[in-house]
Amino acid sequence: MRLSKYFLPILKENPKDAEIVSHRLMARAGMIKQQSAGIYSWLPLGKRVLDKVCTIVREEQDRAGAIEILMPTVQPADLWKESGRYNDYGQEMLRINDRNEREMLYGPTNEEMVTDIFRSYVKSYKNLPLNLYHIQWKFRDERRPRFGVMRGREFLMKDAYSFDLDYEASQAAYNRMFVSYLRTFERCGLKSIPMRADTGPIGGALSHEFIVLAETGESQVFCHRDFDGFAVPSADTDYADDAAIAAIVNKWTTPFAATDEIMEKEDWARQAWDGLAEDSRVSARGIEVGHIFHFGTKYSEPMKASVQGPDGKQHFVSMGSYGIGPSRLLGAIIEASHDDAGIIWPEGVAPFDVGLINMKPGDAGCDAACERLETVLGNAGLDVLYDDTDERAGAKFATADLIGLPIQIIAGPRSVAEGNVEIKIRATGARETLSIDEAINRLTNGR
């Protein structure tokens, strides 16, 4: 992509209402534009990162055996009356009357609708286990939307829903999502720590939040230092092996970990924390990036979602739900990975792999070198953003640092005349002069 033909509206000033660094950087890097309180447009650079994050989420859901569907954003109120949540949900639910005065709502979550899908089609335990997920826009009419896309009103959510014959099978489904979440966040460049959590309006007995540690995190969290050494399960983890998956979950839930909410509410948490040796305690700021719930028959009973079991009898299915907000996750990545100059994208989610900076467009040598690099790297499957604009050097460098592509290639007239370019690694700031061929080899190595 050539920057001269792209739409990358860089802002010089921080938006006045941007309280946190990810909001400031996303606005300044031309990733998002606010359209109303808590409602954002995703500009081209932001859309690219959002797609990358969703691809990772999707691949890890698929790997763990979940199946993708897509439910609508607008739901009939009747479903929510069946579960009893229509009145419970309060003002966060965006309620709508259609032209025929039917009560509708903009879905804040989809337990009811997916349970309706399940009961419409699935009649036998032989069709279980089943886990259906979708990635769809949700709306929660927050009293005080803020922090950019981290707490928006209209936000993207991946929500998965598992259906099983009994509690034990449902626990195995919960475990698969637990492991899948560890992998998802790691692929986004984040180390997440699962913490026992409050279940809130989703309900149920068992719940974990996945928390990323970041100095700018929204809440205080408490955990054991042991998590530092834990390796995230690899891509060839066998999700069909319930015992192996349970062992991973067991390992990751054994050391102490709790949010401040739990610390305040639950005596056991405070006691466990107090019992830890001083040098085992990590108290830090954290950001919630995922939340999983095991709620058994909370929805299947009132909504009559049952299957025939091997015993010939009807059983209400045992369910769980599993949420990741890709738009929120993107904010968390920036909170965890930035410096004074801008964003530092982890490789898996960078909007482009390489920023190619032509220091003197119009100079025959620079143009030829850049066009060659653009073509060769593109053919090798790298996404290149080629800055072919007439901006002055300082502005080009500032933009490249702000938008945070992992690798910058700088082609200036003097080095190009000697057959060289400069390579800069955004994360470390390391710069190196290489011949153009060496640069190509380095960047396409293994591709």
Q: Does 284 bind its own copies (CB under 8 A)?
A: no
| Range 428-441 burial, b when 16+ CB lie within 10 A, else e | eeeeeebebeebbe
Q: Does 344 bind its own copies (CB under 8 A)?
A: no
Q: What is the spatial distance between Cα 156 and Cα 419, in angstroms, rounded to a whole number?
A: 46
Q: Does 141 bind its own copies (CB under 8 A)?
A: yes
φ/ψ (deg, to 5) at 323: -120, 140
Choosing from 20, 26, 43, 377, the residue that interacts with its own copies (CB under 8 A) is 43
Count of residues in contact with its own copies, rule CB under 8 A:
53
Stretch of 87-95, 198-206, 223-231, 290-298 lying at the interface with its own copies (CB under 8 A) = 87-95
Using CB under 8 A as the binding rule, the residues of this chain from 312 to 341 that contact its own copies are none
Choosing from 18, 27, 40, 293, the residue that interacts with its own copies (CB under 8 A) is 40
Which is it for strands 74-76 and 103-106: parallel, antiparallel or unpaired?
antiparallel
Q: Which two tokens stand for residue 198?
A: 């409050």
In which order are the strands placed within the sheet that holds 420-425?
384-387, 354-358, 407-411, 420-425, 431-435
- Could you tell me which residues are beta bridge partners of residue 294? 206, 320
Q: Do 29 and 343 contact (CB within 8 A), yes or no?
A: yes
Closer by beta carbon to its own copies, 55 or else 199:
55
Token pair 């804040």 in the structure block, residue: 108
Q: Does 378 bind its own copies (CB under 8 A)?
A: no
Choosing from 75, 115, 170, 358, the residue that interacts with its own copies (CB under 8 A) is 75
Q: Does 150 bind its own copies (CB under 8 A)?
A: no
Q: Do 152 and 38 contact (CB within 8 A), yes or no?
A: yes
Q: What is the spatial distance between Cα 109 and Cα 287, in angstroms, rounded to a whole number?
A: 20
Site string for its own copies, 98-137 (x = CB under 8 A): xx--x-x-x------x--xx--xxx----x--x-x-x--x
What angle, rounded to 10 degrees, do the helices at 167-187 and 44-63 form?
Answer: 140
Token pair 């700088």 in the structure block, residue: 410
Q: Does 74 bind its own copies (CB under 8 A)?
A: yes
Closer by beta carbon to its own copies, 5 or else 313:
5
Q: Does 68 bind its own copies (CB under 8 A)?
A: yes
Q: What is the spatial distance between Cα 129 and Cα 132, in angstroms, rounded to a whole number?
A: 10
Position 24, amino acid: R
Stretch of 18-26, 41-49, 229-237, 255-263 lying at the interface with its own copies (CB under 8 A) = 41-49
Q: Does 308 bind its own copies (CB under 8 A)?
A: no
Q: Does 175 bind its own copies (CB under 8 A)?
A: no
Q: Does 73 bind its own copies (CB under 8 A)?
A: yes
Q: Does 139 bind its own copies (CB under 8 A)?
A: yes
| Range 37-69 burial, b when 16+ CB lie within 10 A, else e | ebebebbebbebbbebbbebbbebbebbbbeee
Q: Do 257 and 231 contact (CB within 8 A), yes or no?
A: no
Stretch of 62-70, 196-204, 264-272, 367-375 lying at the interface with its own copies (CB under 8 A) = 62-70
Stretch of 94-102, 260-268, 310-318, 404-412 lying at the interface with its own copies (CB under 8 A) = 94-102
Q: Does 250 bind its own copies (CB under 8 A)?
A: no
φ/ψ (deg, to 5) at 113: -65, -40
Closer by beta carbon to its own copies, 240 or else 430:
240
- The angle subtended at Cα 181 by Cα 179 and Cα 185, nearest 5°, is 125
Instruction: Give the DSSP per-residue string, 358-404.
Output: ESSTT-HHHHHHHHHHHHHHHHTT--EEEE-S---HHHHHHHHHHHT
CB of 307 to its own copies, least distance (A): 13
Closer by beta carbon to its own copies, 378 or else 413:
378
Stretch of 29-37, 174-182, 364-372, 409-417 lying at the interface with its own copies (CB under 8 A) = 29-37
Choosing from 6, 89, 227, 273, the residue that interacts with its own copies (CB under 8 A) is 6
Choosing from 35, 220, 250, 254, the residue that interacts with its own copies (CB under 8 A) is 35
DSSP 8-state secondary structure symbol assigned to residue 299: T
Q: Does 88 bind its own copies (CB under 8 A)?
A: no
Residues near its own copies, by CB under 8 A: 5-7, 9, 30, 33, 35-36, 39-44, 46-47, 50, 65, 67-76, 91-92, 94, 96, 98-99, 102, 104, 106, 113, 116-117, 120-122, 127, 130, 132, 134, 137, 139, 141, 143, 153-154
